[in-house]
Amino acid sequence: MSYMVARMQKMKVGNLGGAHKHNERIFEKHSNKDIDTSRSHLNYELTGRDRSVSYERQIKDYVNENKSSKRGIRKDAVLCDEWIITSDKEFFEKLSQEQTRKFFETAK
């Protein structure tokens, strides 16, 4: 029987650089030994964001364009939430690539 995983992490400005490097596989050596860099080309982005621009720059631009107050944002403010929604290997082995993509598109 398969299981689902849903994890949310609040991100402050100090977390964004590391999260960007981790998610884009920018590091030469990864702290997570389970990362198979030969499969990184199979990753895809679900947000439609510009991948050439850092998380920090995009989020700060978004906040500045959409805030209703003239006050600055607190230095320790939570700027976004990172979600990981997935299932176990057995669940995905039964799905085609199209079905897998649909799973993640639906989850977002």
Mean confidence (pLDDT) of the chain:
88
Q: What is the pTM of this model?
A: 0.71
Render the chain in DSSP notation, one character per residue.
---EEEEEEEEEHHHHHHHHHHHTT--SS-S-TT--GGGGGG---SS---TTS-HHHHHHHHHHHH-SSSSPPPTT-EEEEEEEEEE-HHHHHTS-HHHHHHHHHHH-
CATH for the stretch 4-107: 3.30.930.30
Q: What are the pLDDT digits (tens) for 16-33?
A: 998 888 888 787 776 777
Tens digits of residue pLDDT in 74-92: 889 999 999 988 999 999 9
